[in-house]
Amino acid sequence: MKTSALAIAASLSVALVTGTGALAQDYDLVISNGRVMDPETGFDQVANVGINNGFVTEISTDDLNGAREIDATGHVVAPGFIDFHSHGQEPYAFRLYARDGVTTPMDLELGAGSVDAFYDYWEAEDALLNYGTSVSHAFVRIKVLDGVEPGYNPIYTGAMGAAMRDGALFKTKLYDPLDEPVIMDAVEEGLKQGALGISYPLGYYTVAGSPEVMAVAGLAKKYHSFITTHARYIGNVPPSGYLGIEEMLTVARTQDVPMLVHHIPSQCLRLTGKCLDLIEAAQAQGQKVIGEFYPYLYGGSYADADYLKGDWKSVFGIEAKDITLSETGEPLASDQDLRDLQANAPGTGLLVYSIRQEEVLEAFSRPTTIVGSDAMPYQFEDGFTGDWDKPFGAGNGHERGAGTHAKILRMVRENDSLSLMDAISKMTYGPAKFIEDHAPQMKIRGRLQEGSVADITIFDPETVTNNSSSKAGENSLPSTGIPYVIVNGQVVVDDSVVQRIDAGVAIRNPIVE
């Protein structure tokens, strides 16, 4: 049985009473001589960290005595990284996340069709890391319109493929007011099951009716929740990514709900700066909205995505050779190759090289953004079967599933204009702050302070790097320079070796009976 939120709160009460330096007690774990960085308070100095009962109970320059000590000399001791855009939800993906410094990978972009099934899956697994999900508007549509039960994740269960082979009504059926109440009921059921928010990956089903989108967002208001979006449109020309974000800003403002806009550079491309301006203008008018980015120049998709139809060359500003097969890395030879895939293998994974480095740096520089990997499930010879024992490097797919956070830290080292504290904030405090009013467990995560949960990432700022790449055999190589990762006080990466332990807890809202 996983540790409950009530048990964690009880442990915190004990830890705060017994964990003061005045009592000079031993600690379960001490991290000594590291550069402790907390983005909420700006604390940044060499200090020692004492951990008891899964919580940080002392940060001090005094010597601390623990049952175990990790010498962090020359390393940064930071809050554990939080990733809201983690589609890989199985043990293989979690091993890679851990090596990349992530302690809380959640899927808030696609989300889950069955929220109970998602949490039941991780309840039965050894959850190395914390986990959580939103309820997916897209996957609910698969259930309601296609009659296919999505399970905990339609990519893994095969529900997505089944819907695609049998009409894909979730992405082809025009708006029908009679569908709306059934879809509303299914989304509400997900919120009652403890979903953190509502996700709208509208770019994959652009046919969804605007009245339906607006009505469903009203449920986020009802349940004191938030929405996230992969906006309806993408690219440089109308209907552009800018227009897609305008639509969802209107929805969020009308329903008075917070909103996270995913992967701005891949959504807006050459309009990235303008899209970020739009978000900042909404913030200035009182909207609670933030953007997200990842540090790569290509995105992951599949052949039948709506935005790869029509005049996709103008939309993206690319040619067929700029699209490769996820499984092999082989580029398409012609436009006909894409049309053939759409006709005969519509679910084929693709990598689309459409983003420029200056767009990534623009997003990095803005105070309105956080980091989200958009880590897709890795594919193996036997399918999406990411069990614990599969070797690193065997998974095929986008490299961001293995190296996003280490790459961010490497970018800081190689670019004097980027701030290490800002980078850490975008991977820790920024995400936690956005949802903490709607997911109270996050109020004591994303920080490194006395009283915070001991989710901690220790990295060497001089050597940390991503090793995954787009080359075959290298898509899923783990990051290095992050020798220790701690989840709820347990060391899950120990001297760069992932430990097979059940350290994670569910990040979940209360279940409404």
Does position 17 have pLDDT exceeding 50, yes or no? no
Classify each residue of 45-74 as buried b or exposed e, where b means 16 or more C-beta atoms within 10 Å of its C-beta.
eebbbbbbbbbbbbbeeeebebeeebebee
Kindly give the interhelix angle for 210-222 and 241-255, rounded to the nearest 10 degrees.
40
Q: Mean pLDDT, to the nearest integer, of 13-23?
A: 41
Q: What is the pLDDT of residues 283-320, one digit of tens each?
A: 999 999 999 999 999 998 999 999 999 899 999 999 99
* Among 114-118, 151-155, 269-273, the least confident range: 151-155
Query: At 318, phi and psi to the nearest 5?
Result: -135, 175
In angstroms, rounded to a whole number, what is the distance separating the alpha carbons of residues 167 and 165? 6
pLDDT of residue 14: 39
Percent over 90 (pLDDT), the chain = 92
The arithmetic mean of pLDDT across residues 95-113, rounded, is 98
pLDDT at 25: 58
pLDDT value for 270: 96
By C-alpha distance, which of 56, 15, 40, 16 is closest to 48?
A: 56
pLDDT tens track for 219-231? 999 999 999 999 9
d(CA 298, CA 353): 4
Residue 472: HSE in the Cβ half-sphere, 13 Å Cα cutoff: 8
Whole-prediction pTM value? Answer: 0.94
Give dist(CA 252, CA 218) in Å, integer: 9
Residue 307 CB-half CA count within 13 A: 32
Confidence tier at 496 by pLDDT (50, 70, 90): very high
Does 7 have pLDDT greater than 80?
A: no
Average pLDDT over residues 379-400: 95
| Confidence at residue 10, expressed as pLDDT on a 0 to 100 scale | 41
- The helix/strand/coil state of 492 is strand
The percentage of the chain sitting over the pLDDT mark of 70, rounded to a whole number, equals 95
Residue 389 has pLDDT above 70, yes or no: yes
- Considering only CA atoms, which of 204, 322, 318, 316 is closest in space to residue 271? 316
When pLDDT is cut at 50, 70 and 90, the band that residue 5 belongs to is very low
Confidence of residue 63 (pLDDT cuts 50, 70, 90): very high
Residue ranges per structural domain of the chain: 5-79+441-498, 81-299+353-435, 300-352
The average pLDDT across 464-482 equals 96
| 81-299+353-435 to CATH, choices 3.20.20.140, 3.40.140.10, 3.40.50.180, 3.40.50.1820 | 3.20.20.140
What's the confidence (pLDDT) of residue 328?
86
**CATH 3.30.1370.160 correct for 5-79+441-498:** no
pLDDT band of residue 472 (cuts 50, 70, 90) is confident
Q: What is the residue-averaged pLDDT of the chain?
A: 94
Going by pLDDT thresholds of 50, 70 and 90, the confidence category of residue 1 is: very low
Residue 327's pLDDT is 84
Is the pLDDT reported for residue 156 higher than 70? yes
pLDDT of residue 2: 54
3 pLDDT higher than 80: no
pLDDT score of 9 more than 90: no
Contact 475, 481 (CB under 8 A): no
Q: Is pLDDT at 457 greater than 50 in this prediction?
A: yes
